[in-house]
Amino acid sequence: MAARTYQICNRCIMDTSDPEIKFDYLGNCNHCNSALDQAQKNWFPDKNGEKLLDDIIERIKYEGRSKEFDCIIGLSGGVDSSYLAYLAVNKGLRPLVVHVDCGWNSEQAVKNIESVVKKLNIELHTFVVNWEDMKDLQRAFFKASLPDQDIPQDHAIFAALYNFADKNNIKYVLNGLNFATESIMPENWGYQAMDYRHLKSIHKKFGAKKIRDYPHINFFQRYIYYTLIKRMKIINPLNYIDYRKDEVIETMKRELGWQYYGGKHYESRFTKFFQSYYLPVKFNFDKRRAHLSSLIISGQISRVEALDMMKENVYSEKEIGSDLEFIAKKLDWSPQEFKKIIDLPPKRHQDFPTNENLFKFGMKSKNYFKNIFN
Ligand SMILES: [Zn+2]
């Protein structure tokens, strides 16, 4: 196939580094067109949003009035989850706050978690994922040469959170996902983490030992048990406020003694390396492009500012070298072995078994039932 001619969107900064990007006759791309469309349905950064959020919160309080906790929050120490905990406590909710430790926390993330918990006076429950399981899964994903190396971490975090919620009879899962800073991400730059069949199939082919107690959740648990039987609900409160990254960081520095660590998802040393080295070098996917495009669409930065930020070198050669060495060592590889694995020809998630269609169907039916009941 002939290489595609380079093109960049006129409105955001997404470009042909997404091989499936499409442009309309104005030169705007499918990502920002669909984000603007989604904004109409899911984003309320105004008075209306405030009112909607207050209604949701009243309902959560009412339904949880006789319980020890009325909702659950997963705290990573990053911007979104820390601010979510701050917002929930300030609104008078009583969250069960859970940190799932997959073994890659940066020092700053740990400090942030400690300050948030102390300042908000909340109890923290930490779940430590069995490192031998985690390591074997991550080694398998690297050997499979796939783009989304965050799946073993993300899956464990979701699964542990759902388990905690279930055990404590909590119905509301508050999630830091938000339109304002993450409306754009090409589908083919990653794959969804909830697909346990996919994860298992990668491990079966490339894993070296049996997984013992890695927290997991399959399609039926997700959509039948948790959603239909337990009627668990995921709420994204940050979509109901005027969520501005710079302001939020300032507020948290002032109120919580929280510190920024220099990049989206850099609270995990692994994710930093994966996002800022592995993906751009091996796949030509630079997630900053999508993160900055999201900020353009929510009006937080201009397109020119975003283009300037893309030129900044956020990850020095020295840092790359030391992170590569650190990650290789934790995964029981020499730096040379790890480099060889990174150099393997890239694969797609669809080259391995998935339940992609089942999940798409699950999403559709969930929206269908949601529309009926509303
Ligand atoms: Zn665009």
Per domain, the residue ranges of the chain are: 62-373
**Ligand 1 center–CA 286 separation, angstroms:** 15
Q: At residue 311, does pLDDT exceed 80?
A: yes
Gap between the Cα atoms of 23 and 150, Å rounded? 29
More confident residue, 229 or 67: 67
Q: So what's the pLDDT on residue 210?
A: 96
User: Among candidates 218, 226, 234, 219, which has minimal Cα distance to 362?
Assistant: 219
Mean pLDDT, residues 128-134: 97
**Ligand 1 center–CA 15 separation, angstroms:** 8
**Ligand 1 center–CA 10 separation, angstroms:** 6
**Ligand 1 center–CA 298 separation, angstroms:** 12
Q: How confident is the model at residue 227 (pLDDT cuts 50, 70, 90)?
A: confident
**Ligand 1 center–CA 187 separation, angstroms:** 15
In contact, 303 and 11? CB cutoff 8 Å: yes
Q: Near ion ligand 1, which residues have CB within 5 Å?
A: 9, 11-12, 14, 29, 32
**Ligand 1 center–CA 295 separation, angstroms:** 12
**Ligand 1 center–CA 189 separation, angstroms:** 16
Q: At residue 2, does pLDDT exceed 60?
A: no
**Ligand 1 center–CA 52 separation, angstroms:** 29
Mean pLDDT, residues 251-276: 86
Q: At residue 189, does pLDDT exceed 80?
A: yes
Mean pLDDT, residues 67-88: 96
Q: So what's the pLDDT on residue 370?
A: 59
Question: 């890695």: which residue's tokens?
Answer: 214
341-347 own/partner pairs: CB under 8 Å, 24+ apart: 341/142, 341/143, 341/145, 342/142, 342/278, 342/281, 342/282, 343/282, 344/143, 344/145, 345/145, 346/145, 346/147, 346/282, 346/283, 347/144, 347/145, 347/146
Mean pLDDT, residues 168-179: 95
Note if the pTM is more than 0.85.
Answer: yes
Strand pairing of 172-174 and 71-74?
parallel
Which alpha helices (H) appear in the chain, and where do they start and end? Answer: 30-42, 47-63, 79-90, 107-120, 131-143, 151-167, 179-182, 196-206, 219-220, 245-256, 269-273, 287-297, 303-311, 317-330, 335-342, 356-373
We find that the CATH architecture of domain 62-373 is 3-Layer(aba) Sandwich (3.40)
Mean pLDDT, residues 154-177: 94
Q: What is the pLDDT of residues 267-276, one digit of tens each?
A: 788 988 999 9
Q: How confident is the model at residue 126 (pLDDT cuts 50, 70, 90)?
A: very high
Q: So what's the pLDDT on residue 374?
A: 43
Q: How confident is the model at residue 209 (pLDDT cuts 50, 70, 90)?
A: very high
Q: What is the pLDDT of residues 23-73, one digit of tens each?
A: 999 999 999 999 999 999 999 999 999 999 999 999 999 999 999 999 999
CB burial of residue 75 (10 Å; 0-12, 13-18, 19+) = buried
